[in-house]
Amino acid sequence: MKNEMWKSYARGMAAAMNGGSVSVPAGLLRAYRGIGMSDTEMLLLLQLMLFRQVEGVDFPTPEQLAERLGILPKAAHGLLGRLMKDGLLAIDEEVDPVSGIGLERYNWTGFMIRSAEWQADEAKRAIEHERELQPDRFAVPAQQTGGERPRPGDLFTAFEQEFGRPLSPMECETISAWVDQDRYPDELIRFALKEAVFAGKLHFRYIDRILIEWSRNRVTNTDEAKAHTQKFRNGRGS
């Protein structure tokens, strides 16, 4: 009887555990080792996210964190200090407008920025590696004659300038597919990029949808694309 009671209690606890979740950007989990963080430091940051997102606690004590991590409070205090020294963690101070009481909360924006920079560097290194392995694919084409199609090297540069960062290998493959498989003209891809910038939707899925829409409507050059786009902006599109 007692075993059944404990089993029932365990099932109830398992259901309760499924009732809350912590939202963690995947990039943080990919990058933390690359920026020099230890597993324990990452787990501490995850606990800070848990306290805020699930339990509504913005400023847990070193004792509370130590209990979660299975370490001494002194060790938890040292981890917090090291993360703040490295610029990965900060403490924001504010005053409650109702009570006038000073409040503190942990801020891990530094960790997120450092992780994003690391991922950008990794993407750049990946592209440089691809360029070393396949230099012809990334070469900016010289003036060409006849029916030979231009390589997409200069398109990569155009996209990197608009996105303000190096392209990922998958994004490079997408551009290559537009040129080699879908046979979209270079000028049309560039114009689709400009349309995405104009719309404030600078991502590859949106650009791909623009190109597909133009292809369905047999748009083959920028003049036709401008006319097609203007028609819908004027509210006359079907």
Rounded to an integer, the average pLDDT of 52-72 is 95
- Taking the C-alpha atoms of residue 60 and residue 106, their distance in angstroms, rounded to an integer, is 9
Residue 20 dihedral angles phi and psi, to the nearest 5°: -130, 150
Output the CA–CA distances (angstroms, integers) from residue 4 to 8, 9, 10, 11, 150, in the order listed. Answer: 6, 9, 10, 11, 72
Query: What residue type is 221 in one-letter code?
Result: N
* Residue ranges covered by each domain of the chain: 23-112, 134-233
**Residue 3 confidence (pLDDT):** 61
122 vs 209, higher pLDDT: 209
Taking only the tens place, the pLDDT of each residue in 112-156 is: 999 988 888 887 777 777 767 766 655 554 444 444 444 455 788
Class of domain 23-112: mainly alpha
Element (H, E) at 106: strand 102-107
CATH 1.10.10.630 is right for the domain spanning 134-233 = yes
CA nearest neighbour of 107 among 45, 32, 64, 42: 45
What is the C-alpha to C-alpha distance for residues 208 and 225, in angstroms, rounded to an integer? Answer: 14
- Domain 134-233 in the same topology as domain 23-112: yes
Is residue 191 within 8 A of residue 221, CB to CB? The reply is no
Whether residue 205 is predicted with pLDDT greater than 80 in this model: the reply is yes
Strand partners, 45: none
User: 53: buried, middle or exposed (CB in 10 Å: 19+, 13-18, 0-12)?
Assistant: middle
pLDDT of residue 10 exceeding 80, the answer is no
Q: Which two tokens stand for residue 28?
A: 């943080």
Query: What's the rounded Cα separation, in Å, for the pair 204 and 190?
Result: 12
Instruction: Return the bridge partners of 104, or none.
Output: 93
> What DSSP line would sit under 122-153, residue for residue?
HHHHHHHHHHHH-HHHHPPP----TTPPPPTH
pLDDT band at 61; cut points 50, 70, 90: very high
- Residue 43: is its pLDDT beyond 50? yes
